[in-house]
Structure 1
Amino acid sequence: MGRKINIFNDRQTMNTGEYEVFHYKDARPGGIMLHNHDFYEIYLLLGGEVEYQIENITYPLSRGDMLLVSPMELHRPITRREGAVYERIVLWVDRRHLRILKQIHGLDFEHCLDPGRARHSNLMHLGRENLSLLLGLMNLMLREEEDKQYGSELMRSSFLLQVLILVVRLSQGQPRLSESLTSDSLVDQVFDYINRNITQDLSLDRLSGLMYMNSGTLSRRFKKQLGTSIPEYVRHKRLTMARNMLLEGERPTAVALKCGYADYSSFFRAFKARYRSSPREFVKTLDRSADVVHVS
């Protein structure tokens, strides 16, 4: 009897505190909005005509391509042919679980899986042998989850460890790829400036002045490449950074200043509008829902 395929839904949150794995095969018309998670995502494409946007880069994908997405990175799939079969395996791993694995095994998976810190590309092209190895391990994880036999959880955990080790090995030595279909060098400059100066004045007027460009033109070019407006991108980045600081135990008043807000009341309003709770309420509940950027 064949293993069942998961039915896709728009859930972008984890139901467990450690890891989850899914195998999807469906016809997706697109429409998944830019979002990020509190966890790491390992994405393996098995079929379909798909591009994948991660921050300011859109990657063309083919079967056997693997993507690593870290918690801070905005991302979304873009399916190019409506009704075409889109097949992929997606593995979510909570960063706190990675820290536990580091304590147990002495392996810093969190650092190695983060493209920004480990300085490798989000995208890796897997050869036939490595694809077979990774796909085999992920299928074993899925089978153990479905069968739920004696020791299944321990078996799944052992397969997860093998997946993580293999993925890190594959990522080591990978160059940064620039295979973007929609790269605009000026937008890339603005993107880099925003991320280097997230606590500074990032108003549209200031950015357009720095780029010697009309604000309307800059806005259109930025939204065309990233799928969201400059103010919404800045707002999202600041709030994501603030949320991570709160999760790490920093005080809300200190977080407001570190994330570029002029005063606590401005931070309070922005945070509550996004997460439907005040910063202090969030600290109490440790809400772990995903952020979704609505393109406006």
Structure 2
Amino acid sequence: MEQYQIDFQHSFDSFFIERVKRTESFNMTANDCHDVYEIYYMLSGERYYFIKNRNYLVRKGDLVIINFHELHKTSDAPNVVHERILINFRPKFLKDMPIKKDGVDLLSCFGPSRILRLTLEEQHVVETLLKKMIKEEHCRPIGYVLHVKVLLIELLLFIARYNSDQWECNFTFQNALHKKISEIVFYL
């Protein structure tokens, strides 16, 4: 029997945030593809993350950026225990916010899907923002929706400022099977 604990989950009309800790095996049964932007942060543990035609090992402190309609799926790594925070949002959630300003387009990071391998200091920044978002939604003080939007913009600005040389582009395959699967998917 699958055991997991949902610490927090909530959604607005065009925004969803969820924090989940799993202690037993969990594999997505099908590839996912949707009309929202996705930000996936690994709080602890490891997962395999299949994106488009590649399989990546995502570790504690990694931030995964998934574009609209990008095929993706997660599956167990050797140690199945993990905790992650997931954000899905539509552009309309930020329609009244300054997402294109001072020569920066905050949604431009959602080009080809990417994985950011963060330093400890960067992990602290991201975790602080994510935990504030969760706290705002949980407590729902006056203006909480606006504060969540501001925190999301701050996270997107962090991603936009992230040095493009640090994007994790050249992951090595974990084994020959993962390489073969990626080659077959690319061919298809």
With normalisation by structure 2, the TM-score equals: 0.80
- Alpha-carbon deviation of 1:6? 2.9
2:21 is paired with a residue of what secondary structure? strand
- The structure-2 alpha-carbon separation of the partners of 1:183 and 1:102, relative to structure 1 and needing over 3 Å to count, comes to farther
- Alpha-carbon deviation of 1:29? 1.6
- For 1:87 and 1:100, how far apart are their aligned partners in 2? 32
C-alpha contact 1:25 1:86 (8 A) present in aligned 2: yes
What's the C-alpha RMSD, in Å, of the aligned pairs? 2.8
Runs of 5+ consecutive residues of structure 2 not aligned to the other structure: 1-5
- The structure-2 alpha-carbon separation of the partners of 1:186 and 1:147, relative to structure 1 and needing over 3 Å to count, comes to closer
1:31 aligns with 2:24: no
What is the CA deviation profile of residues 23-80 of structure 1, one whole-angstrom value per residue up to 9, with x for unaligned ones?
Answer: 1112242330211110111111011231111011111121101110111211111112
2:8 is paired with a residue of what secondary structure? coil
Question: Residue 3 of structure 2 aligns with which residue?
Answer: none
What is the CA deviation profile of residues 246-265 of structure 1, one whole-angstrom value per residue up to 9, with x for unaligned ones?
Answer: xxxxxxxxxxxxxxxxxxxx
Letter in 2 for 1:58: N
Question: Residue 57 of structure 1 aligns with which residue?
Answer: 54
Question: Residue 155 of structure 2 aligns with which residue?
Answer: 163
Question: Residue 164 of structure 2 aligns with which residue?
Answer: 172
The partner residue of 1:91 within 79, 87, 92 is 87
What is the CA deviation profile of residues 175-196 of structure 1, one whole-angstrom value per residue up to 9, with x for unaligned ones?
Answer: 46121422249927x72xxxxx
**Higher relative contact order structure (alpha carbons within 8 Å, sequence separation ≥ 6):** 2
Q: Aligned residues: percent identity? A: 23
Question: Residue 135 of structure 1 aligns with which residue?
Answer: 127
C-alpha contact 1:51 1:79 (8 A) present in aligned 2: yes
- Alpha-carbon deviation of 1:148? 0.9
Structure of larger gyration radius? 1
Question: Residue 17 of structure 2 aligns with which residue?
Answer: 21
- Alpha-carbon deviation of 1:115? 3.2
Runs of 5+ consecutive residues of structure 1 not aligned to the other structure: 8-13, 192-221, 223-229, 231-296
- Alpha-carbon deviation of 1:103? 6.6
- The structure-2 alpha-carbon separation of the partners of 1:103 and 1:175, relative to structure 1 and needing over 3 Å to count, comes to closer
Letter in 2 for 1:163: L
- The structure-2 alpha-carbon separation of the partners of 1:175 and 1:64, relative to structure 1 and needing over 3 Å to count, comes to closer
**Higher helix proportion (structure 1 or 2):** 1
**Higher strand proportion (structure 1 or 2):** 2
- For 2:72 and 2:138, how far apart are their aligned partners in 1? 29
- For 2:12 and 2:142, how far apart are their aligned partners in 1? 20
The partner residue of 1:42 within 30, 36, 39 is 39
- Alpha-carbon deviation of 1:172? 3.2
- For 2:18 and 2:160, how far apart are their aligned partners in 1? 20
Letter in 2 for 1:6: F
Query: Size of the alignment, in residue pairs?
Result: 177
- Alpha-carbon deviation of 1:91? 1.2
C-alpha contact 1:43 1:88 (8 A) present in aligned 2: yes
- The structure-2 alpha-carbon separation of the partners of 1:101 and 1:183, relative to structure 1 and needing over 3 Å to count, comes to farther
